[in-house]
Amino acid sequence: MTTSLFFLMWGLATALALPLLVPFHARGIGGVKAFTAANALAVLSLLAYAASGVFPPGVYVIVSNAAWVCSLSLVHIGVRQFFGMPAHVRRTAGLGALCVLAFALMLYARDNLGGRMLLFSTYTCAAALATGRVIFQQRGRLQTRGVMLYLMVAIFGLAALHALRVAVYTVGGQAPASMLDPTPWGLFFIVCGAVTVPALFLALLLLVQTSLSEQMQAALTFDSLTGAYSRRSILDELDRELRRCKRVDGRLAVLVLDIDHFKSINDRYGHAGGDTALRHYAQVVQRAVRASDRVGRLGGEEFVLLMYDCDPARALVQAQRVCDALRDAPLHLQGVEVPMTTSGGLAVYQAGDTADGILARADAALYRAKQQGRDRVEMAWAGRTAGRPLPEGLADAMAEDDGSATREGAESTV
C-alpha cells in the first residue's frame, strides 16, 4: 500500500507540467501536442501501478508498460518536430509496437518479470539516448543556454539511470523484484525515477516557453521583412552608444541610407516587388559592413547603420563600400535586372549629441546627397543641431524626392 501511494505521488508530480503545456497548442509550436500526449501517458503509466490494488496484474502491468513506451516514443517524436526535423513517426511507432508486443508475450504467454524489467529499461535507455542526441545536436538553437543544459541533464540522467538498472540486474547479479515490493536497489531506482521523470517534462515545458519568449523578443528586436534591426531596437542601441561615447569620449559614426527611386520599383513591380527589393537591399548592406556594425530599418525604405569606434575618414570609406556593394549586386525581378543604388548621409559623434541631433545631421546630409544626384554619400556639417533650419534648397529637395520616407512616415510605418 505504501509503494502504491508513492507511485500516486510520483504520478501527480509528473502531471504538474500537463496543464501548462495545453495552452501552447494554439501557438503552433512544433512538438507541443506530442509533449502533452507523452506527459499524459507517463502519468497514466505511474497511476496504473498506483492502482495495483484495484486491478489484476495482467491489466495494470501491461497498461503501465505500454503507456510508458508510448510516452517515450512521443517525447522523441516531439523533440524532432520541435527542432523542425523529420519526425520518423512510422519508425518510432513500429519499434514501440514491437516492444509492447514483447511485453505482452512475457506477461501472458509466459510470465517473465526479469525479461520485462530488462526490456523496459533497455528501451528507456535507448529512446532517451536517441532523444538526447537530437537535443545535443540542436543545442545552439536556443540562446538561453541553461534551458538546453537542463534538458540534456534530465534526458541523459534518465538514460544513465536505466543503463545502471540493466547493469545491476545482469552483470551485477541482483535478482529482479516487483516494484510494488522493492529491494533496496529497486527502491533506489524508484526514488531516482521520481526525480528524473518529472524533471524531464518540466524541462520540455521550459523548452517550449523559452522558445516562444525568444521568438517574441526577436520580433521586437528585428524587422520581420528585412531581418535588419527594428526601428525601436536600433534607436535604443543608438541611445546606449551615445551614452557610452559621452562617458569614455568614444567614437561613433551614423549613416542614414535611403534607396534611390524606390517608389518607381513599387509602381512598376507592385508591393511584392518592393518587399523583395527591401530584403535584397538589407542583405547586401549587411554583407558589406563590418561584423561589429549594426544595420537597422527606420521605416519605409530608410535604414541606418551604426559604425562603432569609427573616425570620419574610415566611416566615409565604409559608407562608400555600401554604395559600391549595392551597385555591384543588381536585383532581379520578374526576370528583369533592376539596378539599385542608395544615397547616404553620414554624421559622427560630437560632444553633447542626442539621438535626435545626430540623426537630424545625417538626414540633412542624406537629402544633400539626393539633391546632388543620388548614388553617393555626403558628410554632415559639423556643429549642426536638431533645431537648426535646413539650408536653402534642401527643403525643396526633400519634397521632390520620390523615393525617400520622411521622418514622420518612418515613425508611422513601424
- Weakest mean pLDDT among 15-19, 176-180, 410-414: 410-414
More confident call, 70 vs 224: 70
Angle at 109 between CA 104 and CA 114, to 5 degrees: 70
Give residue 61's pLDDT: 92
Residue 388 confidence (pLDDT) above 70: no
Q: What confidence category does residue 349 fall into, taking pLDDT thresholds of 50, 70 and 90?
A: very high
Q: What is the pLDDT of residue 99?
A: 95
Fold matches, 2-219 and 231-413: no
CA 130 to chain centre: 22
Query: Does 209 have pLDDT greater than 80?
Result: yes
User: In three state form, how does the secondary structure of the chain look?
Assistant: CHHHHHHHHHHHHHHHHHHHHHHHHHHCCCCHHHHHHHHHHHHHHHHHHHCCCCCCHHHHHHHHHHHHHHHHHHHHHHHHHHCCCCCCHHHHHHHHHHHHHHHHHHHHHCCCHHHHHHHHHHHHHHHHHHHHHHHHHCHHHCCCHHHHHHHHHHHHHHHHHHHHHHHHHCCCCCCCCCCCCCCHHHHHHHHHHHHHHHHHHHHHHHHHHHHHHHHHHHHHHECCCCCCECHHHHHHHHHHHHHHHHHHCCCEEEEEEEECCHHHHHHHHHHHHHHHHHHHHHHHHHHHCCCCCEEEEEECCEEEEEEECCCHHHHHHHHHHHHHHHHCCCEEECCEEECCCEEEEEEECCCCCCHHHHHHHHHHHHHHHHHCCCCCEEECCCCCCCCCCCCCCHHHHHHHCCCCCCHHHHHHHC
Say if residue 296's pLDDT is above 70.
yes
Which has more pLDDT, 88 or 178? 88
User: Is 90 exceeded by the pLDDT of residue 155?
Assistant: yes
In sign, the C-alpha dihedral spanning 34, 35, 36, 41 is positive
pLDDT at res. 111: 87
Is 251:348 a contact under the CB 8 Å cutoff?
yes
Beta pairing, strands 302-308 & 294-299: antiparallel
Q: How confident is the model at residue 3 (pLDDT cuts 50, 70, 90)?
A: confident
Q: Which tops the pLDDT comparison, 299 or 384? A: 299
pLDDT of residue 323: 92
pLDDT for 383: 60
Q: Which stretch, 138-147, 208-217, 280-289, has highest mean pLDDT? A: 280-289
Q: What is the per-residue burial (b if ≥16 Cβ within 10 Å, else e) of 271-296?
A: eebbebbbbbbbebbbebbeeebbbb
Per-domain residue ranges of the chain:
2-219, 231-413
Query: For the chain, what's the residue count?
Result: 414
Q: Are strands 342-348 and 377-379 parallel, antiparallel or unpaired?
A: parallel
- In degrees to the nearest 10, what's the CA dihedral of 72, 73, 74, 76? 90
For the segment 396-407, the average pLDDT, to the nearest whole number, is 39
Given a cut of 50, is residue 386 above it in pLDDT? no
| 280 alpha-carbon distance from chain centroid | 23
Per-residue confidence band for 150, with pLDDT thresholds at 50, 70 and 90: very high
Distance from C-alpha of 240 to C-alpha of 358, rounded to nearest angstrom:
14
> In this predicted structure, what is the pLDDT of residue 97?
95
What pLDDT shows up at residue 413?
Answer: 32
CATH architecture of 2-219: Up-down Bundle (1.20)
The least confident of 200-204, 305-309, 326-330 is 326-330
Q: Which of 257, 254, 255 is nearest to 374 (CA)?
A: 257
* Residue 52 grid coordinates: 495495483
- Residue 402 pLDDT grade (very low, low, confident, very high; cuts 50, 70, 90): very low
Question: Which cell is 147 given?
Answer: 534551458
- Predicted confidence (pLDDT) at residue 77 exceeds the cutoff of 90: yes
The CATH number that domain 231-413 falls under is 3.30.70.270
Residues 395-400, mean pLDDT to the nearest whole number: 41
Q: How much is the average pLDDT of 332-348?
A: 91
Mean pLDDT, the chain, integer = 87
